[in-house]
Copies of this chain bind each other. A is one copy, B any other.
C-alpha cells in the first residue's frame, strides 16, 4: 500500500494543492517551482513542491506579486527540502515588508473606525493619506497627497 509516492504527477499536485495544472506549468515557466521529467517527457514533482505552492498562495493572498515571491523562493533550495534555516532567511527578508503592510492596513482600518468616530477624518490631520509607501508599488506615480489647507469636514 504505497500511499506516499515519491513523485507527484501534475494532476496529483494540482489535486492536492488546488492549483490548476495550467497554472502549475505557468509557475514553472516563471521559475517559481520546478519539476523533473519522465522518459516520456511528463512532469514529476517533489512532494516539497506542495509546501512551495502553499507558500505562494499565502503570499499572494496578502497581495505580493509573483515576482517578489519568486525572489524569495529563489533563496530556497530547489532540489532538497528546505531547512529551518532556509525559511528563516526568507523570513528575515520579508519581515519589514509584511510589517509595513500590516501597518498600512491598521491605519486604514483605524482611521475608518476610531478616527471617524473622533471626527478627524480630514486630510490635514490624518496621517493615513500622507504616509510614504514603502511597498505596494501599485502604480509608478507617487501617491503623495499634499492637502494644502482643506475646507470643510
Assembly stoichiometry (copies): 2
Cβ of A108 within 8 Å of any chain B Cβ, yes or no, is: yes
Contact A4 B149, CB 8 Å, known A20-B141, A109-B99: yes
State the CA gap A59–B102 with chains docked (Å). 13
If A16-B146, A143-B57 touch, whether A82 touches B153 (CB-CB below 8 Å) is yes
CA distance A112 to B151 in the complex (A): 45
Chain A residues numbered 86-129 whose CB sits less than 8 Å from any CB in chain B: 87-88, 90-91, 94-95, 98-99, 101-102, 104-109, 112-113, 116-117, 119, 121, 123, 128-129
Q: Known interface pairs A113-B95, A117-B88, A153-B82. Does A143 touch B50 (Cβ–Cβ under 8 Å)?
A: no
Looking at the complex, which one of B108, B143, B150, B153 makes contact with A98 (CB distance below 8 Å)?
B108
Residues of A within 8 A of B (CB): 3-4, 16-20, 23, 47-48, 50-51, 53-55, 57-63, 81-84, 87-88, 90-91, 94-95, 98-99, 101-102, 104-109, 112-113, 116-117, 119, 121, 123, 128-129, 133, 136, 138-139, 141-153
